[in-house]
Structure 1
């Protein structure tokens, strides 16, 4: 079942929308409920959701709150998978309870949550409006000449993931990609892979060299 409709004083009223993320960012639209975001990761359109899947709740004050992956990713030994649809009622109820508790707290987690994903509330609002103009940074990118826009043989996000899995194995690669890294200004590789996949690829290669020499 979807998250219950919040009452007047319910902290869930501060949630504006949800978004589901996979490696190829195939679900850019804001969603009304957590269940809808979960169903995106469960769908056949999701790319490696067990490795890269994330669900984020966006708040009306502009902050973003990541839903802990243990609610919707099952890990067993060296394998992982998105929870099956028959578990959705239980998962939605558990996430609803967690969200209420998290939103009632003024914790560091919530205060820093807006750094989890670059999409801000105004961008989500624009995505809801098909007539909204494209953001300035997107227009600048589209108007840029070919020279300088692309680097020949630059690794794509899939290349980075494949290299990470080859070096570390699926479980460790998944954990490494979601852990803050000091050489990425404290951001996780999974976030920086969107901005600078070459840098993340270099770090994966460095891990491979260290393992080979270790």
Structure 2
């Protein structure tokens, strides 16, 4: 039996799209439901979703609401994992209830959409149709390989993550990767690792020596 559609007074009507994020931002398309976003992180295309996975709800008034990761990331000691697909019904129901409650409040959790993954906001707004084909330039960016001296001098994302885990432990490293840092212009390492992996790696090395 298909789920009932929300009523016109349902606060969920203010949500017009969801986005799933992994470390390499492989899911630029807007999605109609939280379940679809969750399935992106559960798919084989997701890159280190347990470390960097995020799901954001975008609202019609231009604001955005990050979904707390405890709904879809399981923490067990020093390890973490995306919830398995067999838990999706329970997770989706819990997130729907949380969203309704958050949207009914004048919540400080709401942010300007431009402050949530700003590099991808224009793509989101340009692709409000979930069935729209992915633009050629985005496909080219996703498939682009490092060239020239980058291969030698630029640390890989895996190397940055492994170094952070070695210095901080996995749980603390995940939190650090998502926390704004003053040396990254107030952005989180997750947001900077694509454009400046060397800068993020340098911060990790500074922490290992107690300099940061």
Shorter-chain TM-score above 0.5: yes
User: Which category describes the TM-score, using the shorter chain as reference length?
Assistant: 0.7 to 0.9
Q: Secondary structure at the match of 1:108?
A: coil
Structure 1 residues 76-91: aligned runs within 5 Å: 76-91=76-91
Q: How many Å apart are 1:114 and its aligned residue?
A: 4.2
Q: Name the structure 2 match of 1:123.
A: 123
Distance (Å, rounded) in 2 between the aligned partners of 1:79 and 1:151: 30
Distance (Å, rounded) in 2 between the aligned partners of 1:106 and 1:75: 30
Distance (Å, rounded) in 1 between the aligned partners of 2:83 and 2:134: 36
Cα deviations by residue, 1:61-118 (Å, 9 ceiling, x for unpaired): 2222111000001101111111111111111011001111211222222045641211
Q: Name the structure 2 match of 1:18.
A: 18
Distance (Å, rounded) in 2 between the aligned partners of 1:131 and 1:37: 16
- What is the number of residues matched between the two proteins? 201
TM-score (norm 1): 0.80
Q: Name the structure 1 match of 2:199.
A: 199
Are the counterparts in 1 of residues 24 and 194 from structure 2 also a CA contact under 8 Å? no
Are the counterparts in 2 of residues 21 and 53 from structure 1 also a CA contact under 8 Å? yes
Q: Secondary structure at the match of 1:56?
A: strand
Q: Kindly report the root-mean-square deviation, in angstroms, between the aligned alpha carbons of the 2 structures.
A: 3.0
Q: Name the structure 1 match of 2:45.
A: 45
Structure 1 residues 126-205: aligned runs within 5 Å: 126-127=126-127, 128=129, 129-130=132-133, 153-205=153-205
Q: Name the structure 2 match of 1:9.
A: 9
1:64 and 1:3, CA in 2 relative to 1: closer, same or farther beyond 3 A? Answer: farther
Gaps in structure 1 of 5+ consecutive residues: none
Distance (Å, rounded) in 1 between the aligned partners of 2:15 and 2:3: 11
